[in-house]
Structure 1
Amino acid sequence: MIARLRQWKITALVAILLFPQMVPAKEQSSTEGLTARDYGTLPSISMMTISPSGERIAYRSTADGKDFAIIYSLSEKRHVASLDLSEITPRNMYFATDDELILVASEVRRLFGFRDKLDLSTAYAFNLEQREVRQLLTPGDLIYRGQSGLGRIAGFSPDKKFVYMPAYVPDDEYDQSPRMSLVQVELDSPRRPRVHFKGQDESIDFFLDDKGQVIAHELFDNRKNRHTILALQGDEWKEIYREDTELMKISVVGLTPDRESLVLVANNSETNRDDYFIMDLVTGEIENAGLGRSDADIESTFTGMDRVVWGVSYSGFNPSYKFFDEDLDKRMAEIQAYFPEHSVWLRDWSEGWDDLIVYVEGSNVAGIYYKFSKGQAPVQMASARPGIADEMVHPIGRMSFRARDGMIIPSLLTIPRNSVAELKNLPAVLMPHGGPGSYDRVGFDWLAQALANRGYLVIQPQFRGSTGFGLAHYTAGHGEWGGKMQDDLTDAVSVLAKKGIVDPERVCIVGASYGGYAALAGGAFTPELYQCVVSINGVADLEDMLRDEERQHGDDHWVVAYWQKNIGKGEASRDLLRKVSPVRYADSFQAPVLLIHGEDDLTVPFSQSKDMYKKLKRAKKPVQLVELKDETHHLLHNETRLQTVEAIVDFVDQYLQPSTE
């Protein structure tokens, strides 16, 4: 571990005495070497969370081909319960009380009466004493049958007996345009929920006081392009905010501790960064809370189950934090200082913030959970990837370069360990991120690590259109799909080649989602640059993609407006969409192409890769298509993740021919 970390004399709970199933039967030594499968496999331990009292933790364990949620008593030093997750694919879990664990999960399947598959996400409550799992909301039980996104909890009753969950509730069995309402669900007996607060046609969110009463109501009218916030004042609802806009310009994220104001994240025109504001629930006046920075965006807030906000995290290759409580703010700063250059993620906390669960990853760590309790020595809880020793993690460097038009492009480089001493003439993989409104961070990127392990320098440019680097950097990507966004990727290779770091004759491009589009655009528009192209769940036909969004949401929905603005600066014409769609340029491809796509991908339909495959085949171009059975856009399953990483590494190896020494 890091030298400074040892000064704290951390107690390791990963010993066989406490967590026997967390330690693999045979530890892999650093001299044995690792394969793509070792880097690509799902973490053995993930989603660690702590109970309100701090007495229990829960985590997901996927060791030895099994998938369980494990609940462990820290005071009794024993397992309290476990839950088989073979029928549930959790995306998140947390404690509602010490005895109730909430799991948010999803399943893609068909429903009778609906043409397309649906992502039927929902939340389950697992009672640790009774060993019972209960689905909190079931489509058709009061709520509309054809809806997803059912895992969100807006608040709890004071006695924690009930949860309040947003859901679409039809007026009757014939209602095909139900309104979003707030539904009251009893944790012990979730069947037959009832409407706690009846929403309107445009409702999108609800905020409650400490008694469970709705005190603020957020709405967005897609037809009128109107964003509205109503506040309860006495017995009447008053409009305290209205803005006519295609896309919401403020994000309402929670309440102040006194529940007299809403908390907003919005752009600060003076800094061009996302900033923290509060909106008075009586007057509607908006005030800057003084937490913004000129060098980073406020990226997220730390919000309790009551939606009270206690602090913020900032954007950047490594996260940073600010908390309202001075003692907590100092504690978090001290924790970060002991992991220099690594990402320290605050994952959970107990009631009163006495116990913090943090997750550390970076150039020397493949992922480790720690518990930091007030007045106590920190405790190492578990390694996420116990089979990957510190010395087998390939280091992550940073660089910035100036694109051809002068824009600064921050970038990450994952460097093969055996090349750190001499960065010269390396084979490289350019790996643009998805989104495109996203960005890469310092951490354990399983695909970047697997490729670096084969001797490739992995380049991750934060091209214009990426978030996290200010509004100007983000909006500079609007209308630049296949244009300046693509130029930024080309320039990254050019800069590193001119410095002698990258061999320009041995470069492949690999990406997922938008990154998959960028990979295909690279093959179509700069065919001489790449020796191979890999698209994972990527977009190939922008015209078809936008048509799917319009069919799914309606052409007046904000989602369609978002894509119109992102791709075409407000109006993505047919000519523009076709001009930048790789599917229409199959004849231009020179490099072999590997297409990988989940059959249950509802974000980018499988048909995108299927159509690209057909066009390349007709053009007699070398192309392979791998269909991932029962997989979504996010590669959540271990089997398909391994299938993906092995296929990519084998494919890239064919064309970059790395050294095997």
Structure 2
Amino acid sequence: MTHRTRTSIPLIPLETLFGNPDRIAPSLAPDGRRLTYVAPLDGVLNVFLHERGGGQDRPLTRDRGRGIRRQGWAWDGRHVLYLQDRDGDENWRLFAIDAGTGDERLLTPDAPDQAHPVQVQILASSPRHPSTLLVGLNRRDERVHDVYRLGLTDGRLEEIERGDPTVIGWLADHELVVRGRLRSEPDGGTTLLMRDAPGAPWREAIRWSAEDAPLSGPLRFTEDNRRLWMRDSRDRNAAALVLFDPATGETTEIASDPEYDVSATAFHPTRHEIQAVAFTRARREWRVLDEAVRSDFEHLLAADAGELSLVDRSLDDRLWLVAWTRDDGPVAYALWDREAARVEHLFVHREALVGLPLARMEPVTIDARDGLSLHAYLTRPPFGEAPWPLVLVVHGGPWVRDTWGYDPEAQWLANRGYACLQVNYRGSTGYGKAFLAAGDREWGGRMQDDLTDAVMWAVQQGIADPERVAIWGGSYGGYAALAGVTFTPGVYRCGVSIVGPSNLLTFLDSVPPYWESFRAMLDRRVGRLPRYTDGERAGQVKLEADLTDEDRRELEFLRARSPLFHADRVRCPMLIAQGANDPRVKKAESDQFVAAMRERGLEIEYVVYEDEGHGFARPENRLDFYRRAERFLARHLGGRCEEGTG
């Protein structure tokens, strides 16, 4: 058997993998005649307009800072909306651009006497009211997003509903009438409250237990605003698509799988009928429910070997904006003309990837030590022979999952000579509520054991060199990297933590105020930080003198699962990176761990990006980080490096 050598595979530049993409995030105008997308302008991501009839694409925005990533058309076909924060603080502001004139307005300015930062959430829009949005703003109380009606033409903001710290979210019908709200319960469950009209009394429609709540919730109303399409895991293991009648309480199952949750849905844009659902097993698999679109899906699934996504649809449903995600190439975007049965290629998100020797992503199954099956993805280097040095890449969340497809980190690692293993450890979503609940209170426990077991599997399979294994991750993955080098110090040669919590006590006490409605869920799934429940101190962390024996046991549990308090066990070098403005995992989380390592004389490289938050959006910062990481891994694992190290 002939193996390609280290020198026969070209080194893919970091700029190609982690620099600005060429074009991403397309959005189709309601009439299908125009589309917008995000692309670099003078090195910064901005919104561009494309006229389908011809003409040169032109920029609609001219941001010079952090760049724009989230944008889309309003139903009026005139305004393009985008969200922007300040250097990663996630206090989003909503802007509107007139696609015809280019005029730009800030729709959610701070009040002159605003005492705290304000974040906007887009709650609802409807083609029946194309110039109106419902938005959530936490102006009145930093913990609570009240509902405002926003006029796109005149910019008028009118408060129409007030919430409280238990409100997780709001539900509006197609007339933009607020008909429901989701309330968090002290046990971590969720209740859907509904009413028939503004001012009518709220009534309890559905109560989801703490086990069901993370996988369940409303999706949208039917066309007549009488029934609700929902995801629902009650009386089953995995979240199904159901139709719920609030008047009778009757629930009808539409589509389900015994092991996998519904992961995507396709609704008609105006009739609001369900037409297809997807379940993500090793890869996404579509199940067509409406014969009217069966031939469309058959054509699109046959048109490309990648994983199909429906990105957008014109209001008359003649045009679909679709994407195909491949594991060994860029994401491809196209328009599907339903009448002509024709695919019109638009662009790929990174043209420079085309033709490069990218690696394939292989789904694998790993048995954890207690017999639980873990689904994972393995990306092998396209050269050399096993065993390779291994980088275990841990996804964040933790209540999300890794999926198949193009992953720049996996491609980078494989190209540098490392096997990359990505594991959906217990507590990941997508695999039903039993698998999700298996991660409750297991940060640093069985969730970490799953990662260790994955490394041992790779060693036993002859894939990984046991002397050259690194653990890498961001957010929860950063926590797992810190936990890996402290709780299992003999497993890893080095570790990389990006915006990772190190101390669960300080982490749980410093989450954003608007996460208050998720507090009960965090208590249940991570651990409970003892707080006062009533009186003037309600919500504050208890003082030492007021702690009960149960409170003390909880604090000891959180300390035991916090890598910071076990930093003396670290035996390997670490690279830690942090955004200074991160609202989720404060900079102090990284500072504390770095200080503990330095006090012990341990090898640590620490970089803080002053204009970033929970991740690195600016290309100059992102490239700086990956250059540092590449040198770090090359020194300790021996892989290739763009700058010649290793």
TM-score by length of 1: 0.84
| Rounded Cα–Cα distance in structure 1 between residues aligned with 2:410 and 2:167 | 41
CA shift, 1:365, in A, is 1.5
**1:168–1:606 distance in 2 versus 1, CA, 3 Å:** closer
What amino acid maps onto 1:513 in structure 2? S
**One of 69, 90, 93 as aligned partner of 1:119:** 90
SS in 1 for 2:330: strand
**One of 68, 73, 76 as aligned partner of 2:51:** 73
Partner of 2:532: none
Question: Once structures 1 and 2 are overlaid, which stretch shifts more, 100-109 or 453-462?
Answer: 100-109
CA shift, 1:43, in A, is 1.5
CA shift, 1:384, in A, is 0.8
1:583 paired to 2:583? no
CA deviation profile, 1:234-275 (whole Å, cap 9, x unmatched): 9844515254866882412211223211222221433x0011
CA deviation profile, 1:573-610 (whole Å, cap 9, x unmatched): 11111112111112111110111111111111111111
CA deviation profile, 1:113-141 (whole Å, cap 9, x unmatched): xxxxx532022111011211112222327
Partner of 1:265: 231
CA deviation profile, 1:521-551 (whole Å, cap 9, x unmatched): 11111111111111011111111111224x8
**One of 508, 524, 527 as aligned partner of 1:565:** 524
**One of 603, 608, 611 as aligned partner of 2:589:** 608
**One of 39, 43, 46 as aligned partner of 1:61:** 39
1:195 paired to 2:173? no
**One of 293, 297, 308 as aligned partner of 1:328:** 293
Partner of 1:254: 220
**One of 403, 428, 435 as aligned partner of 1:466:** 428
1:519 paired to 2:481? yes
**1:31–1:620 distance in 2 versus 1, CA, 3 Å:** closer
1:138 paired to 2:109? yes
What amino acid maps onto 1:146 in structure 2? H
CA shift, 1:145, in A, is 5.9
1:276 paired to 2:241? yes
CA shift, 1:71, in A, is 0.3
SS in 2 for 1:217: strand
| Rounded Cα–Cα distance in structure 2 between residues aligned with 1:595 and 1:138 | 36
| Rounded Cα–Cα distance in structure 2 between residues aligned with 1:402 and 1:493 | 11
**One of 160, 165, 187 as aligned partner of 2:130:** 160
| Rounded Cα–Cα distance in structure 1 between residues aligned with 2:190 and 2:321 | 40
CA shift, 1:486, in A, is 1.2
Kept in 1: contact 2:66–2:87 (CA 8 A): no
Partner of 1:38: 16
Q: CA RMSD in A?
A: 3.0
Question: Once structures 1 and 2 are overlaid, which stretch shifts more, 92-101 or 195-204?
Answer: 195-204
SS in 2 for 1:465: coil
1:509 paired to 2:471? yes
Kept in 1: contact 2:395–2:401 (CA 8 A): yes
What amino acid maps onto 2:522 in structure 1? W
**One of 442, 449, 458 as aligned partner of 1:487:** 449
Q: How does 1:149-548 map to 2 (within 5 A)?
A: 149-156=119-126, 158-168=128-138, 170=140, 176=141, 180-190=145-155, 192-197=156-161, 203-214=167-178, 216-220=179-183, 227-232=191-196, 236-237=200-201, 239-241=203-205, 243=207, 249=213, 250-270=216-236, 272-283=237-248, 285-302=249-266, 308=272, 310=274, 311-322=276-287, 324-340=289-305, 342-374=306-338, 375-419=340-384, 422=385, 424-548=386-510
CA shift, 1:147, in A, is 5.2
Kept in 1: contact 2:47–2:68 (CA 8 A): no
Percent identity over paired residues: 23
CA shift, 1:221, in A, is 5.9
Partner of 1:100: 79
SS in 2 for 1:365: coil
**One of 618, 623, 638 as aligned partner of 2:604:** 623
**1:165–1:233 distance in 2 versus 1, CA, 3 Å:** closer
SS in 1 for 2:510: helix
| Rounded Cα–Cα distance in structure 2 between residues aligned with 1:71 and 1:282 | 45
CA shift, 1:87, in A, is 4.6
SS in 2 for 1:478: coil
CA shift, 1:492, in A, is 1.2
Question: Once structures 1 and 2 are overlaid, which stretch shifts more, 619-628 or 132-141?
Answer: 132-141
**One of 574, 577, 585 as aligned partner of 1:593:** 574
| Rounded Cα–Cα distance in structure 2 between residues aligned with 1:90 and 1:67 | 5
| Rounded Cα–Cα distance in structure 2 between residues aligned with 1:213 and 1:470 | 32
CA shift, 1:352, in A, is 3.0
SS in 2 for 1:418: coil
CA shift, 1:226, in A, is 6.9
SS in 1 for 2:345: strand
| Rounded Cα–Cα distance in structure 2 between residues aligned with 1:238 and 1:605 | 37
**One of 29, 46, 54 as aligned partner of 1:51:** 29
Kept in 1: contact 2:27–2:71 (CA 8 A): yes
SS in 2 for 1:83: coil
CA shift, 1:650, in A, is 1.1
**1:85–1:616 distance in 2 versus 1, CA, 3 Å:** same
| Rounded Cα–Cα distance in structure 1 between residues aligned with 2:325 and 2:234 | 31
Kept in 2: contact 1:437–1:467 (CA 8 A): yes
What amino acid maps onto 2:325 in structure 1? E
CA deviation profile, 1:408-434 (whole Å, cap 9, x unmatched): 111101122224xx5x21111111111
Kept in 1: contact 2:168–2:518 (CA 8 A): no
**One of 609, 618, 624 as aligned partner of 1:643:** 624
Kept in 1: contact 2:79–2:98 (CA 8 A): yes
CA deviation profile, 1:471-492 (whole Å, cap 9, x unmatched): 1111111122112111111111
| Rounded Cα–Cα distance in structure 2 between residues aligned with 1:233 and 1:536 | 47
Kept in 2: contact 1:240–1:281 (CA 8 A): no
**1:391–1:331 distance in 2 versus 1, CA, 3 Å:** same
Kept in 1: contact 2:47–2:71 (CA 8 A): no
| Rounded Cα–Cα distance in structure 1 between residues aligned with 2:158 and 2:199 | 22
CA shift, 1:436, in A, is 1.1
**1:323–1:205 distance in 2 versus 1, CA, 3 Å:** farther
Q: How many residues align?
A: 607
| Rounded Cα–Cα distance in structure 2 between residues aligned with 1:91 and 1:305 | 24
**1:329–1:563 distance in 2 versus 1, CA, 3 Å:** farther
Partner of 2:547: none
What amino acid maps onto 1:524 in structure 2? T
SS in 2 for 1:378: strand
Kept in 2: contact 1:81–1:128 (CA 8 A): no
**1:177–1:248 distance in 2 versus 1, CA, 3 Å:** farther
What amino acid maps onto 1:124 in structure 2? F
SS in 1 for 2:383: helix
